[in-house]
Amino acid sequence: MKPLAQDPTLNDFGHDPWWIVLIKVVVVFAFLVVMTLFAIWYERRVVARMQVRPGPNRNGPFGLLQSLADGLKLAFKEDIMPKLADKAVFFIAPVISTVCAFTAFSIMPFGPVVSLFGHKTPLQLTDIPVAVLLVLACSGLGIYGVVLGGWASGSTYPLLGGLRSSAQMISYEVAMGLSIVAVFMTSGTMSTSGIVAAQAGSDTHWGPITAPSWYAILLLPSFVIYFVSAIGETNRAPFDLPEAESELVGGFHTEYSSLKFALFFLAEYINMVTVSALCTTLFLGGWRAPWPISLWAGANSGWWPMLWFTIKILLLLFVFVWLRGTLPRLRYDQFMRFGWKVLIPANLIWIVALSGIKTLQKSDWDGTKRTMVVVGVVILLLIVALVWPSKKEPEKLTVADQIAARPDGSFPLPPLDLVVPVNPRAKRITASREEPVTVGAPDDSTGPKEA
Amino acid sequence: MTSALHLVAAAAAAGEVTTGEKAVFFILAPIALIGAIGMVAARNAVHSALWLVLTMLSLGVFYIVQAGPFIGMVQIIVYTGAIMMLFLFVLMLVGRDASDAVIETLRGQQAWAIVLGVGFAGLLGTGLARVVGSLKVVGLEQANADGNVQGIAALLFTKYVWVFEISSALLITAAVGAMILAHVDRSLRDGTAVMSQPERMRARFEPGSYPGPKPGPGVFATSTSIATPAKLPDGTPAQRSISPILPTRELTAAEVANKQTEGR
């Protein structure tokens, strides 16, 4: 499938009359605010579902208005300024966070060129040749809000949260930037609309099979590293060390209340939406419909793509929530080691490998030479794998061996053949039930019937 | 905002100064200047850093307006995003109350610094204005012919590849040097050995130091008295479940003996 004529290019931007620009700005703003309200509800409902409880279900249908009510409540709460706070910086920190979060979304492509009140305009606020870098710049500046908020609070826990946040941001922005490099190399552009167009369909065919066009498949390592570092960038579980509630109370926003806290909250959720949208744009084909829907001719034209784009964002948000509901928080040194010693080296190796592949593809060598290069690389890898020092697996001991190996003075264990006497009260409780409840028994036949 | 910048950038590529570019310049130039002065004047180190961030951001926007979007974004990402963040990190480690001493160590130093600074700025400004003022700008279109990023990449990897490699080698040398100079042997602190985290973890579970909570007195025991030790899983009494200040009480023979209180 060739890119369609309605695909916006860089030349399509910058020609809108001012009122269309204004409409787009307002729509992007409204989209982000509504997505935030929805994402909070969505997260609470999904986590609740995972923990077998209903979640917010009182205000509005399915509890949908819960976050709106919470937001209104936050706005009317008392605004507390700590005595030791640095007043100006304390005030400006949440503003920085929020402004950067909103700005980053200005280059997200929602869809193709559509007709808006008679004007042909792309469904995207703007695009620049270095659009993806704008998102990186905004996320880099957005961290200032967190760091300064922590510093200006004049209290220990927020300061620790801010410190962690700055270190975390420096480490994970490197991994994030490197993971995007592979996308730039493959698509040959940094503009978001260009990257979406580059994923529209590929010209490479291997016999009857067309090469996949989504960069999530073509550049799988980049996709995985991007998503992991995006979670680190947005301070989400399991990387939410700047606001680790079990160690730092609330982290950088401990001293914040009322509307300032609400701004931090808003910025965090917008950042989640932004990295999901960028992930969609860079790796998941942007606003283009996925395969079964794309068979329908009208799927990638008009206003429909906005729907596919939003659905993809919501799916990625689900993964965010899923991770939060599943994984415990990392210890700080593990987190840093993971970033610097796993993500970044893996990324560098992958980029070098990818450039090798690209060079091989572009070279005018014949088949034998190419095969020889590939075979040579494979042999080199095998040699490295052979020479690589292998880690000796500790041999597995049986339970009895482990007990025998315990030194004297260890905490005593109950005897292994211990028979726990039946609790005399347990009989009365189970006897009053119609069917005996077997807890922890594999099946009814072996479980205690009456005990 | 960015679409306006786009227009401005397009116009700048054509080699003329548009109203938009002028407006951006006359709004941001004073801000950049205020940032620079504020950086020097601020007493608090973190405030200084923030003023500097303001100046760097303004410079980044100037680059973008002058048809160099890549260098503008890199200015914002690298300088404000990474380098100033490292500065802030260090400043925050130092502590928030650390501010410059107000006492002048050299007498009249501040006044002289202001006079000389203004004089230098005046000289530099007039010199630059005389040189650049009548200059006709050419070649921007050719440089950005294949796109701004592609133009920079072509230069970096052909004409300036050697300079680029040397500067990266210099940076790596500096980083390695800083690490060696700042490295402290952490196995010793104040002359005493410091246990590493895995060592501490192993010590925590060594025989004799059970890391779990202490069993309360009377747990699984025959009596609920606080003087009765708890029983460990194998049935032995856990001595550490009793408070050490409780006197061990043993009944005397007279106390144990039948008091003959029945059937009186």
pLDDT per position in chain B (264 positions), as tens?
444 445 445 544 445 667 878 888 899 999 999 999 888 888 888 888 889 999 999 999 888 888 888 888 888 888 888 888 888 888 777 765 655 566 667 777 888 888 998 999 999 999 988 888 777 777 777 777 777 888 888 888 888 999 999 999 999 999 999 889 887 776 666 667 777 777 888 887 777 677 777 766 666 666 667 777 777 777 777 777 777 787 666 667 777 677 777 665
Per cent of chain B over pLDDT 90 is 13
Contact B77 A169 (CB under 8 A): no
Residues in chain B: 264
pLDDT at A426: 65
In this structure, the answer to whether residues B227 and B139 fall within a common structural domain is no
Place of tokens 């080699």: B15
In this structure, the answer to whether residues B81 and B3 fall within a common structural domain is yes
Instruction: State the best of A18, A21, A96, A133 to mutate against chain B, taking most chain B CBs within 10 Å.
Output: A133
* Sequence-ordered alpha helix ranges (H) in chain B: 2-13, 19-41, 45-65, 69-74, 84-94, 109-133, 140-143, 148-157, 161-182, 197-204, 253-256
DSSP three-state, residue B231: strand
Instruction: State the best of A16, A18, A141 to mutate against chain B, taking most chain B CBs within 10 Å.
Output: A141
Chain B nearest-CA residue for A144: B85
DSSP three-state, residue B190: coil
For residue A238, whether the previous peptide bond is cis, meaning omega lies within 30 degrees of 0, is yes
Interface of B with A (CB under 8 A): 1-3, 5-7, 9-10, 44, 46-47, 50, 53, 57, 60, 69-70, 73-74, 76-77, 80-82, 85-86, 88-89, 92-93, 96, 147-149, 197, 207-208, 210, 212, 232-234, 236
Rounded to a whole number of angstroms, the distance from the CA of A434 to the nearest CA of chain B is 32
Q: What is the CATH number of the domain that holds B15?
A: 1.20.120.1200
Rounded to a whole number of angstroms, the distance from the CA of A12 to the nearest CA of chain B is 11
Rounded to a whole number of angstroms, the distance from the CA of A42 to the nearest CA of chain B is 32
- Asked, for residue B216, whether it belongs to a domain, the answer is yes
Within 8 A of A190 by CB-CB distance, chain B residues are: 149
A373 at the B interface (CB within 8 A)? Answer: no
List strand residue ranges (DSSP E) for A166-243, in order.
205-206, 209-210
Provide the domain limits for residue B36: 1-95+135-145
In this structure, the answer to whether residues B218 and B140 fall within a common structural domain is no
Rounded to a whole number of angstroms, the distance between the first and last alpha carbons of chain A is 69
In this structure, the answer to whether residues B140 and B211 fall within a common structural domain is no
Tell me how far apart the alpha carbons of residues A129 and A139 are, in angstroms, rounded to a whole number: 18
Tell me how far apart the alpha carbons of residues B38 and B31 are, in angstroms, rounded to a whole number: 10
In this structure, the answer to whether residues B59 and B140 fall within a common structural domain is yes
Q: Where are the domains of chain A?
A: 16-366, 403-432
- Asked, for residue B84, whether it belongs to a domain, the answer is yes
In this structure, the answer to whether residues B139 and B246 fall within a common structural domain is no
Number of Cβ within 10 Å of residue A230's Cβ equals 25
In this structure, the answer to whether residues B140 and B220 fall within a common structural domain is no
Contact A163 B149 (CB under 8 A): no
pLDDT at B120: 94
Number of domains, chain B: 2
In this structure, the answer to whether residues B89 and B210 fall within a common structural domain is no
Query: B182 is written with which tokens?
Result: 């700042």
- Asked, for residue B126, whether it belongs to a domain, the answer is no
* Sequence-ordered alpha helix ranges (H) in A287-423: 291-294, 304-326, 332-337, 344-362, 367-387, 399-404
In this structure, the answer to whether residues B37 and B141 fall within a common structural domain is yes
A362-405 pLDDT, tens per residue?
877 777 888 888 888 899 989 988 888 877 777 777 878 877 87
B114-139 pLDDT, tens per residue?
899 899 999 999 998 888 877 777 77
Residue ranges of chain A whose pLDDT lies below 70: 1-6, 201-212, 292-295, 423-451
Contact B6 A169 (CB under 8 A): no
In this structure, the answer to whether residues B8 and B83 fall within a common structural domain is yes
